[in-house]
Amino acid sequence: MAYDCVTSDPKEWETYCLTPIQVVQSPCSGFYDLFAEIIPINLEYLLLNQKEDGYWDPTWTWGRFEKEWETAKEEWRGILTLDYLKVLNAFDFLEK
């Protein structure tokens, strides 16, 4: 089921989808073997899409309530950035 739910095509990661690193957050994950080939590509993609100031934007919008979305978007940036930094660290993808 995990394999069927994850989007392995990097072209689709710019949209709202479940990416490999959202399921496999470290090499110790029970699902690591299912996604071992695509994980490095997903990690590289993550690094390439980090903003100059060090954060990541959500890949989605609400499509309404734009004023409220701007506040929520800032909060999501923090959540995503913390999650992605943890994953990059777990896979030793952070520069020391």
Q: pLDDT digit string (tens) for 43-70?
A: 999 999 999 999 999 988 888 898 988 9
Mean pLDDT score of the chain: 92
| Through-space distance between the first and last CA atoms of the chain, rounded to whole angstroms | 36
Quote the pLDDT of residue 62. Answer: 84
Q: pLDDT digit string (tens) for 24-37?
A: 999 999 999 999 99
Question: What tokens were used for 76?
Answer: 């999501």
